[in-house]
Amino acid sequence: MNTVTQVLNNSLTPQISDRLSKNFNRHLKERVIEFILMLAAFSAVLTTAAIMGILLYESYGFFEHVSISDFLTDTVWTPLFENPRYGILPLVSGTLTVTGVALLIAVPIGTISAIYLSEFASHRVRETVKPILELLAGVPSIEFGFFALLFITPLLQKIIPGLPTFNMLSSGIVIGIMIIPYIASLSEDAMRAVPMSMREGSYAMGATRFQTAIRVVTPAAVSGIVAAYILGISRAIGETMVVAIAAGQQPNLTFNPMDAAATITAYIVQVAMGDLPHGSIGYQSIFAAGLVLMLMTLTLNIIGHITRKKYSERY
């Protein structure tokens, strides 16, 4: 009897395989791998913190010589002149104008493209068009800059006589073309994530495919669409080569897209390629301008996060 009981107890006791038993070497390797994965996960955070630290450190030296009030309110930006003035408003106006023109091009075309790919295109068309559309995002920005200067600007000059060679309109149009893939692709992904049951319910109530796409799918995917818009805006604000080549490099406080003007990124490129000594006030001005650009992008991302959180739908 005791033998039978012992056999039953042994059979009921879980047996741990040697491969699954605790092993110091395997445990150490797993911890090392977890640590590497954690570093990879926090690399973006650490990089952002490092960028902010550098900008703040270098900008501190700039603001020791220039008051913040003059920097934010002065309407003239001539840091490289004999009598320098450091008003950031001309660079900000150029950046916002180019970004505004780009959004007027990218938001309607990108959103319409996303609706078509998500709701109307066949599987074969979607699988063909979307990779081609995303491939547009891989074209070097300097190529877009020459495209704006040598093709878009002459074309616009035929339509708008007197348009200068360097202008913000052509730059904004080309940047808008650049960010269409970001808006279209991310918006299409957000729309495809909407459950099919919502579409079927709309069809059951007599709605057409167009009505379903506009009144059901798009509102349900609004959080993802807003995220696509924010990414597109950030990409437009931070674009460098297109505006440096086609928009001009003369700071000009104007919101007229047909004028030439410099953006924040164009000025940074202009000074970074010069011969200003490290630590000079002119050299430090690029970090102050970069800090403004970083804060603009950070503000947009915060607004986007709040909007996504407010309108996010969970299915």
List of E strands, the chain: none
Amino acid at 202: S
Question: What confidence tier does 17 reach under pLDDT thresholds 50, 70, 90?
Answer: low
Give the Cα separation of 4 and 21 in Å (integer): 28
Q: What is the pLDDT of residues 41-72, one digit of tens each?
A: 888 888 888 888 888 888 888 888 888 888 88
Output the six-digit token pair for 270.
């202009």
Is the confidence at residue 179, as pLDDT, over 70? yes
281-311 and 24-63 helices, crossing angle to 10°: 120
Q: What is the pLDDT of residues 181-217, one digit of tens each?
A: 999 999 998 898 888 888 888 888 888 888 998 998 9
Q: Cβ of 308: how many Cβ atoms within 10 Å?
A: 16
Give the Cα separation of 95 and 239 in Å (integer): 9
CB 130 within 8 A of CB 191: no
Report the pLDDT value the prediction gives residue 244, as an integer from 0 to 100.
87
Question: What confidence tier does 24 reach under pLDDT thresholds 50, 70, 90?
Answer: low
For the chain, the distance separating the N- and C-terminal CA atoms, rounded to the nearest angstrom, is 59
Report the pLDDT value the prediction gives residue 111, as an integer from 0 to 100.
93
Give the Cα separation of 15 and 13 in Å (integer): 6
Helical H runs in 193-280? 196-204, 209-212, 218-220, 222-237, 241-246, 264-272
Residue carrying the six token digits 């220039």: 66
Give the Cα separation of 129 and 131 in Å (integer): 6
Output the six-digit token pair for 47.
């990089």
Q: What is the pLDDT of residues 233-269, one digit of tens each?
A: 988 998 888 998 888 888 888 898 998 888 998 888 8
Amino acid at 230: I
Q: CB-based burial of residue 46 (10 Å sphere; 0-12 exposed, 13-18 middle, 19+ buried)?
A: exposed
Give the Cα separation of 137 and 231 in Å (integer): 13
CB 251 within 8 A of CB 77: yes
User: Rounded to the nearest 5°, which phi and psi values hold at 55?
Assistant: -60, -45
Helical H runs in 64-140? 68-73, 89-115, 123-135
Mean pLDDT of the chain: 85
3-state class (DSSP) for residue 77? strand
Report the pLDDT value the prediction gives residue 18, as an integer from 0 to 100.
58
Is the confidence at residue 100, as pLDDT, over 90? yes
Give the Cα separation of 60 and 222 in Å (integer): 40
Give the Cα separation of 100 and 173 in Å (integer): 10
> pTM (2 decimals)?
0.83
110-146 burial code (b ≥16 CB/10 A, e <16):
bbebbbbbbbebeeeebeeebeebeebeeeebeebbe
Is the confidence at residue 277, as pLDDT, over 80? no
